[in-house]
Chain A
Amino acid sequence: MKANSKKSFNSNTLLLVITIVLFCVLYVGGCIAYGSKGFTHFQTFLNILITNAGLICVACGMTCVMLTGGIDISVGALIAMDCMMLAVGMEKGIGAVTMVLIVLLVGVVFGVVQGFLVGYLEIQPFIVSMAGMFFCRGMTAVICTDQVSITEKINATFYKWANTKVTIPFGGYVNNKGKYMAPYVRPGVIVAILVLIIIFIMLRYTKFGRSLYAVGGSAQSAAMMGLNVKKIKMGAYMLSSILCSVGGVCYCLNTMAGSVTQALGLEMDAISSAVIGGTLLTGGVGNVIGSFFGVLINGTISSIVKTNGKLASSWPNILTAALLFIFIVIQSIFAAVRARRK
């Protein structure tokens, strides 16, 4: 038993440890290089959370799908569609709460369709979610082709949500005018952290959570154990789309606008976060804590690039892809080593 736990430490926990160390190195490196530009403030870290609140929700959903061995690349486009729906809906005078509920409902419906196609009709997840991605991106343009901003005039409630500051009692600093700046987060962050905790508990302790691992480990064995593989796969895609809609609301709270080109390439960030966090592309291994750190790494990279100010805007994209590449290669080496041991 002990040897077994040691073996699992070797491959899976090692990836998580690498991720956490990488995050620390990046962050400390950022602090040393840009300390004078305020990178060392606790608020910088919180800002990473604020900008990436939506991505955290999406990465949680993505992790669940990837645990079953699938993938969902429709998330970025779905977020764009969510934001556009929120913006246009509120412009038409529909209440904030109603709009959020509608967005969540659309997420459920979208997830059911994708899940049905993948789970019950056994179509490759990539094809299904790619079609989903183009559908949502096009649908965003069908709803409205212009950029729509949500201002206080359009919806006061939503505006109030977006501008609520939840202050944190510690870690503040005194700015150059001698005023104490208390660190704060936005409501989106709290939603994201709640999602993270719920999914963590779900994956660890509930029947559905454990079934996701079982299906990803080996769909055949899971079926023989009496699990309904089709239903579980469908559930995973539903969960991903719902969490994506929750993330979409968080994202919209941050950007306060809907536009066709919004969240372009966000699916890439979510996938790379999950992969960097130790979720295996083949399924069966991974957890949301790793994905959370994956998001933080992505956020730190863009934050460093932004603080530098001179680097081209395409660098975060390239660096994320490079990290994804490195981690995929590490994974495949681990897989080869494991196969040889057997």
Chain B
Amino acid sequence: MSTWKKIKSWPLLLPVVALILVMAVNIIHDAATGVNPLSFFSISLRETTTNGTILYGRLIDVINRGSEIAILAIGMTLVVSASAGTDISVGSVMSLCASAMCVTLAGYGVSSTTTLAKPLVIGLLAAILMGIVCGAFNGTLVAHLSIQPMVATLILYSAARAIGLLLCNDLIVYVRNPSFAFIGSFLGPIPTPIVITAICIAIVSVVLKKTALGMYIQSVGINARASRIAGLNSKLLIFLAYTLCGVFASIAGIVASSRITSADSNNIGLYLEMDAILSVALGGNSLGGGKFNLAGSIIGAYTIQAITTTLYALGVSSIQAPVYKAVIVIIIVVIEAPPFKAFLKRHSAAFASKGV
């Protein structure tokens, strides 16, 4: 009984169970189609003409493709924890940052280039700066003007993509330069996005472990007023959470744009805000703010990517996939909803008394 309780109160229960379920679906699907049931987990080295020897396998693919979601999930976790609301602009901000970077690298009005107009670093800085500006804009609206987070971020959700298109002069800007493409390809045998994600996660977890920032953000999320009275600058902390979310969105934008070596304003980060929110919810974090669990969110992010990859493997197209994800979101939030929990408790009590 006590072990059962321990398992039940384990914070990573939900994401890990979800991940195991997804893997099980994969194994069953592979077994049913006659492929080696464990092919999902097999990792091999492969020779390619463009990138040399690289790691290859579906698991690697999931971790690689899940990089953007995992990076976004870090920022989203902080935002959800601090303000009890979500930032729905992350997908659009990603696209805007990618546009800003590619326009800086290619020059305004150029649709395709192989040589960089400016050093790569300046392009990356432009993207991150754009992310900071967007995050600060959201943060100001939420923290200083006390506007509901989702309405405040709705402004950039709709405008950021449009501004990106304007920056790109309504073109898809291609930057076919190896130094730029490197961010989205391979570092030795390992895909670079995985390395970037690992660095992001490492920095954030060290900061959260070594400083009290994580605790401050949680306390603001639990009760903003009480934390202010206790001497915390609630507004600054909420502002900081949104700004950080913007920065992570810009990093995700850089990775996404480098993968396709272009800034496709209409498609970069499309529906990714949904994935980011979903990974936070799947990670066992309450969308009502307060306590958060970064590890959960990150496992959640990779679970989402595993779900997406599995859906593609099952023959669902990318524009149809949102249906399944929407159903999963609803199931998770219903399970977490207090009235549903109360209903279950009432019924299980009634059931128990009947059984006796």
Chain A proximity of B316: nearest CB distance (Å): 9
Whole-angstrom CA separation of A138 from B148 in the bound complex = 27
Q: In the complex, what residues of B have CB within 8 A of residue A314's CB?
A: 161-163, 165-166, 170
Are A138 and B321 closer than 8 Å at their CB atoms? yes
Are A281 and B323 closer than 8 Å at their CB atoms? no
B41 within 8 A of A: no
A312 within 8 A of B: yes
B147 within 8 A of A: yes
Residue of B nearest to A122 (CB): B339
Are B317 and A117 closer than 8 Å at their CB atoms? no
Known: A134-B322, A314-B170. Is A126-B165 also a contact (CB below 8 A)? no
Are A328 and B147 closer than 8 Å at their CB atoms? yes
Task: Indicate which residue in B141, B166, B323, B337 contacts A139 across the interface (CB closer than 8 Å).
Answer: B323
Are A318 and B166 closer than 8 Å at their CB atoms? yes
Are A126 and B150 closer than 8 Å at their CB atoms? yes
Q: List 27 A-B contacts (CB under 8 A).
A: A71-B151, A117-B333, A123-B333, A124-B288, A126-B85, A128-B333, A130-B274, A130-B277, A131-B327, A132-B326, A135-B327, A137-B322, A138-B324, A142-B320, A145-B319, A265-B158, A281-B151, A313-B165, A317-B161, A318-B166, A321-B162, A324-B154, A325-B141, A328-B147, A328-B151, A328-B152, A335-B146
Are B339 and A120 closer than 8 Å at their CB atoms? yes
A323-342 with Cβ < 8 A to chain B:
324-325, 328-329, 332, 335
A268 within 8 A of B: yes
Task: Indicate which residue in B159, B277, B322 contacts A317 across the interface (CB closer than 8 Å).
Answer: B159
Whole-angstrom CA separation of A84 from B111 in the bound complex = 34
Are A138 and B323 closer than 8 Å at their CB atoms? yes
Q: In the complex, what residues of A have CB within 8 A of residue B329's CB?
A: 127, 130-131, 134
A101 within 8 A of B: no
Are B148 and A281 closer than 8 Å at their CB atoms? yes
B334 within 8 A of A: yes
B157 within 8 A of A: yes
Chain A proximity of B154: nearest CB distance (Å): 7
Q: In the complex, what residues of B have CB within 8 A of residue A320's CB?
A: 158
Task: Report B313-356 CB contacts with A as 1/0, cut-off 8 Å.
Answer: 00001011111111101100110011110000000000000000
A121 within 8 A of B: yes
Whole-angstrom CA separation of A282 from B147 in the bound complex = 9
Are A134 and B146 closer than 8 Å at their CB atoms? no
Are B147 and A138 closer than 8 Å at their CB atoms? no
Q: In the complex, what residues of A have CB within 8 A of residue B326's CB?
A: 131-135, 138
Whole-angstrom CA separation of A138 from B326 in the bound complex = 9
Are A123 and B337 closer than 8 Å at their CB atoms? yes
Whole-angstrom CA separation of A330 from B165 in the bound complex = 28
Q: In the complex, what residues of B have CB within 8 A of residue A281's CB?
A: 147-148, 151
Task: Indicate which residue in A128, A138, A268, A317 contacts B154 across the interface (CB closer than 8 Å).
Answer: A268
Task: Indicate which residue in A126, A131, A137, A139 contacts B330 across the interface (CB closer than 8 Å).
Answer: A131
Show the binding face of B for A, using Cβ within 8 Å. 85-86, 88, 141, 145-148, 150-152, 154-159, 161-163, 165-166, 169-170, 271, 274, 277, 287-288, 317, 319-327, 329-330, 333-334, 337-340
Are A318 and B319 closer than 8 Å at their CB atoms? no
Whole-angstrom CA separation of A218 from B162 in the bound complex = 37
Whole-angstrom CA separation of A139 from B325 in the bound complex = 12
A107-152 with Cβ < 8 A to chain B:
117, 120-124, 126-128, 130-135, 137-139, 141-142, 145
Q: In the complex, what residues of B have CB within 8 A of residue A325's CB?
A: 141, 155
Q: In the complex, what residues of B have CB within 8 A of residue A133's CB?
A: 326
Q: Which of A127, A313, A315 lies at the interface centre, i.e. has the most chain B CB atoms within 10 A of its CB?
A: A127
Whole-angstrom CA separation of A335 from B145 in the bound complex = 10
Whole-angstrom CA separation of A133 from B162 in the bound complex = 20
Task: Indicate which residue in A73, A130, A268, A312 contacts B165 across the interface (CB closer than 8 Å).
Answer: A312
Whole-angstrom CA separation of A130 from B149 in the bound complex = 14
A90 within 8 A of B: no
Whole-angstrom CA separation of A324 from B89 in the bound complex = 15
Task: Report A285-320 CB contacts with B as 1/0, cut-off 8 Å.
Answer: 000000000000000000000000000111101101
Are B317 and A127 closer than 8 Å at their CB atoms? no
Q: In the complex, what residues of A have CB within 8 A of residue B325's CB?
A: 134, 138
A33 within 8 A of B: no
Are A268 and B322 closer than 8 Å at their CB atoms? no
Whole-angstrom CA separation of A130 from B325 in the bound complex = 11
Are A127 and B277 closer than 8 Å at their CB atoms? yes
Q: In the complex, what residues of A have CB within 8 A of residue B317's CB?
A: 141, 145
Whole-angstrom CA separation of A70 from B340 in the bound complex = 20
Chain A proximity of B172: nearest CB distance (Å): 14
A322 within 8 A of B: yes
Chain A proximity of B38: nearest CB distance (Å): 31
A78 within 8 A of B: no
Whole-angstrom CA separation of A221 from B323 in the bound complex = 38
Q: In the complex, what residues of B have CB within 8 A of residue A142's CB?
A: 320, 323
Please list the 6 inter-chain residue pairs (A to B) with the smallest Cβ-Cβ separation, ordered nearest first: A138-B323, A321-B159, A138-B322, A314-B162, A135-B326, A134-B322
Q: In the complex, what residues of A have CB within 8 A of residue B159's CB?
A: 317-318, 321-322
Known: A126-B150, A135-B326. Is A321-B320 also a contact (CB below 8 A)? no
Residue of B nearest to A127 (CB): B333
A26-53 with Cβ < 8 A to chain B:
none
Known: A127-B277, A318-B166, A332-B145. Is A121-B150 also a contact (CB below 8 A)? no
Are B320 and A332 closer than 8 Å at their CB atoms? no
Known: A132-B326, A312-B165, A332-B146. Is A138-B170 also a contact (CB below 8 A)? no
A260 within 8 A of B: yes
A246 within 8 A of B: no
